[in-house]
Structure 1
């Protein structure tokens, strides 16, 4: 049973404007200033788990050339170009039906392209455990992150006792909570952040999609038979994998989770980037040739600029990319989509 990795890389990353744009979203940017883009770091952390010929990327059709440029060792026919965005269920279904055609006994990990993992070695240990479990069992394993704070921006997984090598049964999936509920989840100790990383074998996932979303399964069978992605895929039901498969499968007792602590972040906003970057003595985080004077609690990303000098700022975001500049309060970052649309 061979391992395959599916990377979901279709998002537009509008919350990181001007760094991330619809033409070059955050998954294709060296956002940490480490010399590797987020999608390259995603591939890096699977080293030893899967050969390059078993990687698959599902992305928007307009990003195919970027994927080929950044990941030249992935087979060209493993880059699946979505003609329309249909959320994660059709995206994942298309990848898994494609894998089924070449390796019907495959063991699969599905991961977003834009998350950050600070401890890749521990990540590989957890993924290997999960793959060992799904290789021998009709099961779906999610990776659940041990919460470090009462976070309201993530969905949660409610777990019960471990059944096999740290792997626990999932009792229920919980929507993003308010602060009081998140505090209760943290105190309870059996709630994990849902990282959106899934492990399963091909037979399990294709059977589950066929059972819970027969319309999507029928579309995938037609694509597999005819190859007509352009006409069939845009007509697929627009639905997340959580609603389409995970919730009904959990009710049927098929879903498990592996608790993990490997420095994960979905890097969904500037606050999470500030959290992951190295800070100076005044809690500033910066990427690029940046000089800060009397600044505190700022996050600065200006990798392309020759030099940036900032003075007297407290709690601000500064970003420069291709001549576009953002300067706004960190407390107002939820308005960045509004700012960039002007």
Structure 2
């Protein structure tokens, strides 16, 4: 696979990942954690673009507190390509900022937008899917979404309903029209989606040309289209971002564009994708004993079952006796003990913590 000369990538890295407390903090969010091996999630995101997008054409958007940490783990990305958003404005303004940055360099560019904190097992196939998506985006002047082939009826993801296959698009992966996007369903509805075979998980990965994005935003969110055009011609890019970005409406790209755009295509990907939404989703990648306890670090357990144990302190042993279905995570300054069935409530716990622990 060879790099495409006009292909750029935006890595969205502004999230906090509070569900991974106490390991995640404001200055060390989910994307800067090495949950699975020695690589952080954002390193994995950049490395899986290798051979497809030149590092000079990768832009990372984050917040001021995380810039130094991201620059440190991404030495191949130019430091000036790690940009701090001056305010939290959700994914649509972030994508517009990146599109303006890219358009100033190449108005005919094709752009990939993807999160920094997802796990993909099959990097080679992921790159191949992105290449097909970029080809389809250019050929059909359309927005292309990546859908993930579901392997269970997950009620926690949005879904994409595929329509007719486009025989006129000659890529190495099938390209379909998109019938509609579905919000997070009930378990029963998710099971119906899975049985139908026409639905994919919405991974929040989009591919479009700058030309297509401007056209669609001009129709559905003109404020963002104007922002892109202003950045494209800006003499002082940083000043315009600092002055104008905080004034943009806070809105997701799904709401601002995807629910209204007319020309949206989909490629379904089977790449071993995982959103890694919290400690239970990490458990399946950890060591597991005969009692269903999953762990990273030193663990001794007696009469304990189905616990998740993650130790960030190498010299510390965690011992469990007579407990089940817990999450136990230790760091140098904090220990979490929680019911694993309440994992999605950890972010509420973080709201009660003193600032020095967040």
Band of TM-score, shorter chain:
over 0.9
- Tell which deviates more after alignment, 135-144 or 173-182: 135-144
Equivalent of residue 12 in structure 1, options 13, 16, 32: 16
Matches within 5 A, 1:195-274: 195-224=203-232, 225=234, 226-227=236-237, 228-249=240-261, 252=262, 254-274=263-283
Equivalent of residue 183 in structure 1, options 176, 191, 199: 191
1:323 pairs with 2:333:
yes
Deviation at 1:270, TM superposition (A): 1.4
C-alpha distance in structure 2 between counterparts of 1:317 and 1:147, whole Å: 26
Q: Is the 8 A contact 2:287 2:296 kept in 1?
A: no
Instruction: Mark the runs of 5 or more structure 2 residues left unpaired by the alignment.
Output: 353-358
1:277 pairs with 2:286:
yes
C-alpha distance in structure 1 between counterparts of 2:108 and 2:121, whole Å: 31
Q: Is the 8 A contact 1:143 1:257 kept in 2?
A: yes
Q: Is the 8 A contact 2:312 2:332 kept in 1?
A: no
Matches within 5 A, 1:1-342: 1-32=5-36, 34-163=37-166, 164=169, 165-224=173-232, 225=234, 226-227=236-237, 228-249=240-261, 252=262, 254-312=263-321, 313-342=323-352
Q: Is the 8 A contact 1:97 1:206 kept in 2?
A: no
Q: Is the 8 A contact 2:100 2:227 kept in 1?
A: no
Q: Is the 8 A contact 2:329 2:335 kept in 1?
A: yes
Per the alignment, in what secondary structure is the counterpart of residue 271 of structure 2?
coil
C-alpha distance in structure 1 between counterparts of 2:218 and 2:304, whole Å: 56
- Tell which deviates more after alignment, 135-144 or 190-199: 135-144
Deviation at 1:133, TM superposition (A): 1.4
Deviation at 1:305, TM superposition (A): 4.1
Would the alpha carbon gap of residues 198 and 276 (structure 1) be closer, same or farther in structure 2, given more than 3 Å must change? farther
C-alpha distance in structure 2 between counterparts of 1:276 and 1:323, whole Å: 25
Q: Is the 8 A contact 2:101 2:231 kept in 1?
A: no
- Tell which deviates more after alignment, 155-164 or 222-231: 222-231
Would the alpha carbon gap of residues 289 and 151 (structure 1) be closer, same or farther in structure 2, given more than 3 Å must change? same
Deviation string, structure 1 residues 107-140 (Cα, Å, up to 9, x no partner): 2211100000111122122112112212322011
Instruction: Mark the runs of 5 or more structure 1 residues left unpaired by the alignment.
Output: none
**Number of aligned residues:** 338
Deviation string, structure 1 residues 2-22 (Cα, Å, up to 9, x no partner): 211110000011111111112
TM-score by length of 2: 0.90
Which 4+ stretches in 1 moved above 4 angstroms? none
Deviation at 1:146, TM superposition (A): 1.1
C-alpha distance in structure 1 between counterparts of 2:177 and 2:313, whole Å: 47
Per the alignment, in what secondary structure is the counterpart of residue 6 of structure 1?
strand
Deviation string, structure 1 residues 176-216 (Cα, Å, up to 9, x no partner): 01111111111111011000011111211122222211012
C-alpha root-mean-square deviation of aligned residues, in Å?
1.6
Per the alignment, in what secondary structure is the counterpart of residue 130 of structure 2?
helix
C-alpha distance in structure 1 between counterparts of 2:124 and 2:291, whole Å: 31
C-alpha distance in structure 2 between counterparts of 1:54 and 1:285, whole Å: 39
Deviation at 1:334, TM superposition (A): 2.2
Deviation string, structure 1 residues 73-105 (Cα, Å, up to 9, x no partner): 212222221011100000011001100100122
Q: Is the 8 A contact 1:55 1:74 kept in 2?
A: yes
TM-score by length of 1: 0.94
